[in-house]
Amino acid sequence: MKSSTIAAILSFSVASLAAPVSYVVPKYPSPFGKRSVQDAVNDCQNTGNPSLCEQVVTTINGWDVSVNGVNLFLNTAEGLTNPALTTAENMALSLANLEPGFLSTLQATPGLSAAGQQAAATLGQVFGAVPQNLQDLLDASESVETAVDNINNVRCAQILGNIGELWVESAAAVGADTPGFPLGPFVCEKSGGNVGDAFN
């Protein structure tokens, strides 16, 4: 997925879904720690394949924006009422639906390690739980509390750690700056290995 496509999708998703009700995904620090995404892109010029490196960096950044947007929903949903709740549900679903595209892009990184491939395979198996629970919530077939609990259970235990592993391994494969792991919702324990947004 090209960086311009990722940026356009995220910009459109956040802007169009947030328009009727004020529910804006806040800006989070770079997934590359104290270095900006632009610094990481610039560093790609020193690699063997700058365009592939840039694609990995911008995909990681786009995925980080998506993860943080879903986190915002999970952290606040139980305190929202309509119409803000429905807007937040739609935004979270839109962002969650972008993540398989980010997965496909990083999974196809040439030279991806066995650890990266395993993380991608696990994500492919468990990703569906997040949009399914969000859709069930929108369809009113489960409560906010149940949907949030179900999503948190799978994201904390299986999704976020594997996303971080895939980020690190795909960045290593192309010589990009090493990203941290994604920040989780409040209920996820912060592991000692998490050096991403949560620890900036």
pLDDT of residue 35: 78
> How far apart (Å, rounded) are the C-alpha atoms in residues 151 and 129?
7
Q: Alpha carbon of 112 to those of 70, 84, 119, 137: distances in Å?
A: 27, 41, 11, 36
SS (H, E, C) 158-185: HHHHHHHHHHHHHHHHHCCCCCCCCCCC
Q: What is the pLDDT of residue 80?
A: 93
Look up residue 188 and give its DSSP letter: S
Q: What is the CATH number of domain 37-181?
A: 1.20.1420
At 187 the pLDDT is 86
Mean pLDDT, the chain cut into blocks of 10 residues (200 residues total): 55 47 55 84 93 96 94 94 94 95 97 98 95 94 94 93 96 94 82 38
pLDDT at 32: 82
| DSSP structure string for 48-107 | S-HHHHHHHHHHHHHHHHHHHHHHHHHHHGGG--TTHHHHHHHHHHHHHHHHHHHHHHHH
Contact 179, 35 (CB under 8 A): no
Domain ranges of the chain: 37-181
Q: Is 4 exposed, middle or buried (0-12, 13-18, 19+ CB in 10 A)?
A: exposed
